[in-house]
């Protein structure tokens, strides 16, 4: 099934969101959808250079890092993308705003792996599977209103890749829960290689990562919560 037609040198496709809105002007999370039936040539994702960057926020600070990709593939038929699947290793999650030798690194890493967040002992992987592609025609991206602090989460419009070409939809499975996410991406196909970049926000609580849920905070100004919004950025290369 052909989902995407090449436009000039660019062809869009690929990867993981929050905020509700119209069909072509916002990042959104919905119920799981049917996965695209891949056909044609299969390109292997370069796991050594592909990863998902993350940033989590609270009023008094933020943490960031990445989750490595362990396996993945992109299916292309002619000049159309027909499918994609990516697997990420939650147990290999890295924190980049502090040294691993720092005592707080171990505490934060362990907390993220625990049942409060990813529950990695039971759900060690996250999986993304392509479900659809549509042309990026909107001139702007609708942003979610956030509670203002010194560390308010970055907006979807700020995170988006420069000159996005299409909206990508796909099922993201984490912690045993599958949701469909939609986000803008820029993808290039040339000389038998595919590169894709995307940046957007997700609401972590949609996948059961509800520790410190800001909706339960009695007094947000006292830093008694963690923002539900998590920023996600993809950099994918396949050959």
CA 40 to chain centre: 26
What is the spatial distance between Cα 177 and Cα 172, in angstroms, rounded to a whole number? 8
Relative to beta strand 166-174, strand 125-135 is antiparallel
Q: Measured between alpha carbons, how far is residue 163 from residues 76, 146, 210 in Å?
A: 22, 25, 33
pLDDT tens, position by position, 14-67:
333 333 334 446 789 999 999 998 888 899 999 988 889 999 999 999 999 999
Residue 132: pLDDT above 70?
Answer: yes
Locate 164 and state its tokens: 């996005």
Q: What's the chain's average pLDDT?
A: 86
Sketch out the chain's domains with CATH numbers.
Answer: 28-238 (2.40.128.110)
End-to-end CA distance of the chain: 21
- The model carries a pTM of 0.85
Length reported for the chain: 239
pLDDT at 142: 87
Q: Is 126 exposed, middle or buried (0-12, 13-18, 19+ CB in 10 A)?
A: buried
Please give the average per-residue pLDDT across 167-192, as a whole number: 91
């Amino acid at each position: 099934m052909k989902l995407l037609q090449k436009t000039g040198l660019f062809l869009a496709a690929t990867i993981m969101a929050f905020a509700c809105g119209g069909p072509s002007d916002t990042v959104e999370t919905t119920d799981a959808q049917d996965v695209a039936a891949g056909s044609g040539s299969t390109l292997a994702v370069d796991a050594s250079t592909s990863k998902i960057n993350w940033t989590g926020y609270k009023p008094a600070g933020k943490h960031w890092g990445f989750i490595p990709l362990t396996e993945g593939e992109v299916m292309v038929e002619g000049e159309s993308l027909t499918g994609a699947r990516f697997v990420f290793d939650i147990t290999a999650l890295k924190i980049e705003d502090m040294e691993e030798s720092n005592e707080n690194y171990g505490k934060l890493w362990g907390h993220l792996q625990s049942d409060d967040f990813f529950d990695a002992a039971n759900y060690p992987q996250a999986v993304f599977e392509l479900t659809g592609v549509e042309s990026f025609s909107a001139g702007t991206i609708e942003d979610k209103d956030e509670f203002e602090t010194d560390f308010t989460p970055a907006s979807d419009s700020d995170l988006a890749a420069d000159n996005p070409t299409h909206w990508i939809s796909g099922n993201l499975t984490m912690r045993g829960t599958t949701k469909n996410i939609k986000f803008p991406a820029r993808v290039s196909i040339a000389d038998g290689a595919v590169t894709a970049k995307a940046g957007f926000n997700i609401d972590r609580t949609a996948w059961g990562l509800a520790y410190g849920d800001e909706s339960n905070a009695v007094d947000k100004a006292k830093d008694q919560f963690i923002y539900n919004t998590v920023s996600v950025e993809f950099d994918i290369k396949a050959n």
